[in-house]
Chains A and B, each alone.
Chain A
Amino acid sequence: MKKSPSVLVIGGGSTGTGIARDLAMRGLDVTLVEKGNLTHGTTGRMHGLLHSGGRYAVSDQPSAKECIEENRVLRRIAGHCVEMTGGLFVQRPEDSDEYFEKKLEGCRECGIPAEVLSAEEAREIEPYLAKDIKRAIKVPDGAVDPFRLCVANAASAVEHGARIETHSEVTDVLVEDGEVVGVEVTHQTGTGPYVHGEPGEVEEIRADYVVNATGAWAGQIGDLAGVDVEVRPSKGVMTIMNTRQVDTVVNRCRPKGDADIIVPHETTCILGTTDEEVEDPEDYPEEGWEVDLMIETLSELVPMLAEARTIRSFWGVRPLYEPPGTGTEDPTDITREFFLLDHDDRDDLPGMTSIVGGKLTTYRMMAEQISDHVCEKLDVEAECRTADVPLPGSEDFTVLRDYMDDFGLRSPIGRRSAQRLGSRADEVLNSVDPNPVVCECEAVTRAEIQDSLDTAGTELNSVRIQTRASMGNCQGAICCHRMANELAPEYDEETIRASLDDLYQERWKGERHAMWGTQLSQTALKHMLHATTMNRDEDPAAADADIDFAAFDDGGASEGDASGVASGGAVADGGRERTDRAGDDALGGADGDN
């Protein structure tokens, strides 16, 4: 039997997993390596907008056309990752009429359905829009869950025989006789089926072809191969609100600028963003003024945001690219198109192509084009099928069943689970009994956590991104340790404790950008629960020193009767009828005050 050609894909974001799926479906022998977990780079740090293309309809029409095309494809193949919220481009009185007309015209030129709404009509859809807005253009924007999308692509790739290695950083690109023949990876810690190496172990992976799909990190891989890849990483802040102040994507209708979009995402809204070039995609300042800018500027569109509660902020790095010599000064002017850089054509280095630029909405199209390119190089004739075959979870999922009855779940829990799991809901929810809620804010049950552990290993941050557990208002105050408990009995207590500490610290990082007002109160509660109640900050099990247990109160066992307490005052537990405590059930992760 003829061995199929082998391809090594570097990068476990949407593009990399999309390529792995595409090539695996075409029958190639695919290995994907990622230095962190899936979505570790830019994919896990975006605002979740499924572009209609409207944002680029004036400035970048080729991108706009790709967006609307792929917007339709993703609705078809990734239904369980997409929420079609619709989008508005809102014009304020100070925004130019000319630009509004250009936007409308641009949408129509690109085939993006666009409808002009009066201020009243727009406020009918989004009642919290500012009273003085002028009008709006309605477009088919949506929200996409990048985590779920990426994980589904990886799962599909594996189903088609791909090997996926997370926590495996490429530490060298192997060049022999002037040709790329593979990479050297150094395995790091991490568990789960996508981790096979031992920490510190160095492995050479040889392949007939190498694809560099590392986005903002493409320049670093280029350096290892001795070629220049001129990515221009650009950072942007995203601020997460505690609830959905809007249910539609709300864009500001003006040429360009920071803080001009609000994306409803699951139980939250995400405010975005800024666009500022950075030197290093992993080391750049994350500053409070950026958060302030989001709140202040976007409250011009939705005034209630000024007083609303944010639960955290995070930053992402766009993998912008422009051909050498373009010399654009302002990163907002750099094209959002994607580019295939065949290093044979460009640098006389055969065996490797980099893919740079682009955006999540067009990940599949990018994957298709590079897969076509790779197949051509390897002389493989196979059709791309990724636009037609639904992702795992999105197969034949036309009707949301009533999970309340089927699984004994209260209807909002069943609905949320079913939305996240898509066509896998039956299989997953049937797998665990009893199936209690673990994360109350996001209504995530044990079954979903357990299902995600199949690919997450002990990495609770991976459980988090797959299920949304710990991503709600309380930021894990109530559920972090419960999630960790779900690792038992498979993993030992020490491992469970370490996983909990990792997740807790990761949550803290983003929470620090939201620590004022009600969220600071929430944070203080979280600190009390984990430090005061659970003593996790001074856990004697983690400390080096031995405790002299005999020096502590043994309950009076050594002195006989322990009832040395003064009597008088109230009768202990005197049987007074208490009010029913059913009301306490409302006390969940969410602070009761929202």
Chain B
Amino acid sequence: MAITDDVLVIGGGIAACTAALSAAETGARVRLLAHKKSTLRQASGLVDVLGYAGGDGPLSDPSAGLDALPEGHPYHVVGEDGVRAGLRIFDEAVGDAYRGGHTDSNALVMTHGGAVKPTARYPESVAPGLASSSGDMLLVGFAGLTDFDAPVAADHLTAAGVPFSARGVTVEFPKRFRADAKVTRFAKALDRDEEVDGGTVRSVVADTVAEKLDGESRVGFPAMLGDDHDEDVRAELSDRLGVPVFEVPTGPPSLLGLKLEDMLFDALDEAGVRISAGNPAVDFEAEDGRVETVIVDQKSRPTPYSADQVVLATGGLVGKGLDSDRESVTEPVFGCHVPHPEDRYDWSEPEAFGDHAFARFGVVPDAELRPTDEDGEPHFENLRAAGGVVGGADVAREKSASGVSLATGAVAGRLAGEEATR
């Protein structure tokens, strides 16, 4: 007898979590089928909604760019209401840990390369460092961390014309690690406040930075200020330095992305969503145009999961919700239609940051976010799609990745929940 739910969400990223939370709000019994850790560990932890559209940007108001997006963009399917619904669910899920919900405007946040980018929600630890707020800034990098060079990042900020002065210094971390130590090891030393020459890690870092401080009113570090005890770390450093301390979002392994993942899963628990993690959905059974069961490969044993409604949120090319070979691009679980140029050399452009077709690969949704076949008909009456697996958006260029996941997740989840509980 198959495990049976009202709504089955396949995936483990922002879109899947949002779809599950949205479906749960309708009173449906929801299960999330997550395979591996999501791609959030590779994401900065910022929640972009829309920063560039139709050649304009950075946009201070994301909604102002919606009309300029190309035909078939998922934002056109879900509308501005869908975008707002996604943000509402997100704000409720993460609470005070994220900021930006007080306004419809984007913030400009510096990234670890030093470029600023428009984003709609940002972690609380990032908030004091907004490039769109005032206050002279000291950036601190550590000699053993190659991802963030504080003086270069500060000069990069200055080159963007920020309305404050920015200066960077590189200091030694008070503890030495192996050559291949990751940012997680540094975070742990701050978490535990490990003993070092001259005191503990936190106090020695603060003393070192205090000597460099020259009237700046805020101090930024790469996002490595603790993991389990991040608030304590930041509070202690702020206290010792006498100015707010903030984090600069980084690439993988991204502690801010990992923390966001934890928060979303906590919210799923709270909402009563059942979670089956660790195994991939590999196949399905359908009858009369409806998906009846999804088959999960449970350590080589096929296990069926039944549901009234299914949401596909397995991600795009990065999350492997889309697959490809030399001839074609496919959606591997249900075999949904993924339009793509015939010649694989047309999938990308010669310019590295060109208008790549691959960036927009994905299933083609109908008005209810159901993936459609080549004739524009839904593959299945009860299958919807959300997030990266949905095509039509170049989320990298638009700075819309999280927003598309939130909006499509919210709408697909709500529709699935409403259908299942009707």
Measuring CB to CB, which residues of chain A are less than 8 angstroms from any residue of chain B? 288, 292, 407-410, 413, 434-438, 440, 443, 445-446, 478-479, 481-482, 485-486, 488-489, 492-494, 496-497, 504-505, 507-509, 512, 515-517, 520-521, 523-525, 527-541, 546-557, 559, 562-578, 581-582, 584-585, 587, 593
Measuring CB to CB, which residues of chain B are less than 8 angstroms from any residue of chain A? 39, 41-44, 48, 51-52, 57-58, 60, 88, 91-103, 105-108, 111-118, 124, 127-128, 130-134, 143-149, 151-152, 155-157, 159-163, 172, 176, 178-182, 184-185, 227-228, 230-231, 249, 251-253, 258-259, 262-263, 266-267, 270-271, 316-318, 320, 323-326, 343-345, 347-348, 350-353, 356, 358-359, 395-397, 399, 401
B345 touches A512 (CB 8 A): yes
Listed A/B pairs (24) with beta-carbon separation below 8 Å: A407-B179, A408-B176, A413-B179, A436-B145, A482-B146, A485-B148, A520-B317, A528-B401, A530-B353, A538-B57, A538-B397, A540-B115, A541-B156, A552-B108, A553-B100, A555-B133, A562-B99, A565-B101, A573-B231, A573-B263, A578-B227, A584-B41, A584-B184, A585-B185
Take A437-B179, A488-B149, A541-B160 as given contacts and tell me if A573 and B397 are in contact as well, using a CB distance cutoff of 8 Å: no
With a CB–CB cut-off of 8 A, which chain B residues contact A568? 92, 95
With a CB–CB cut-off of 8 A, which chain A residues contact B116? 535, 540, 547
Shortest CB-to-CB span from B22 to chain A, Å, is 13
Take A410-B180, A541-B159, A568-B92 as given contacts and tell me if A288 and B343 are in contact as well, using a CB distance cutoff of 8 Å: yes
Shortest CB-to-CB span from B255 to chain A, Å, is 8
With a CB–CB cut-off of 8 A, which chain A residues contact B124? 572
B60 touches A570 (CB 8 A): no
Which of B60, B115, B258, B347 lies in contact with A534, CB distance below 8 A?
A: B115
A524 touches B91 (CB 8 A): no
B179 touches A525 (CB 8 A): no
Shortest CB-to-CB span from B342 to chain A, Å, is 11
A529 touches B42 (CB 8 A): yes
A532 touches B395 (CB 8 A): yes
With a CB–CB cut-off of 8 A, which chain A residues contact B102? 556, 559, 562-565
Which of A524, A557, A573, A587 lies in contact with B252, CB distance below 8 A?
A: A587
Given contact pairs A529-B42, A534-B113, A569-B92, enumerate 4 new A-B contacts (beta carbons under 8 Å): A413-B179, A485-B147, A520-B347, A538-B117
- Chain B residue nearest to A543 (CB atoms) is B160
B152 touches A572 (CB 8 A): no
Shortest CB-to-CB span from A414 to chain B, Å, is 8
Take A496-B152, A509-B350 as given contacts and tell me if A523 and B181 are in contact as well, using a CB distance cutoff of 8 Å: no
Question: How distant is the Cα of A286 from the Cα of B267 in the complex, in angstroms?
Answer: 51
With a CB–CB cut-off of 8 A, which chain A residues contact B103? 553, 556, 564
Which of A288, A482, A504, A505 lies in contact with B147, CB distance below 8 A?
A: A482
A565 touches B99 (CB 8 A): yes
- Chain B residue nearest to A497 (CB atoms) is B156
With a CB–CB cut-off of 8 A, which chain A residues contact B320? 521, 593
Question: How distant is the Cα of A407 from the Cα of B127 in the complex, in angstroms?
Answer: 39
With a CB–CB cut-off of 8 A, which chain B residues contact A582? 184
Which of B131, B134, B148, B155 lies in contact with A493, CB distance below 8 A?
A: B155
Which of B92, B117, B253, B344 lies in contact with A587, CB distance below 8 A?
A: B253
Which of A520, A537, A550, A572 lies in contact with B263, CB distance below 8 A?
A: A572
Question: How distant is the Cα of A443 from the Cα of B127 in the complex, in angstroms?
Answer: 35
B42 touches A525 (CB 8 A): yes
Take A573-B230, A581-B184 as given contacts and tell me if A534 and B259 are in contact as well, using a CB distance cutoff of 8 Å: no
With a CB–CB cut-off of 8 A, which chain A residues contact B107? 552-555
With a CB–CB cut-off of 8 A, which chain A residues contact B132? 549-550, 552-555
Which of A488, A524, A546, A574 lies in contact with B359, CB distance below 8 A?
A: A524
Question: How distant is the Cα of A121 from the Cα of B364 in the complex, in angstroms?
Answer: 53
Take A528-B42, A572-B95 as given contacts and tell me if A516 and B318 are in contact as well, using a CB distance cutoff of 8 Å: no
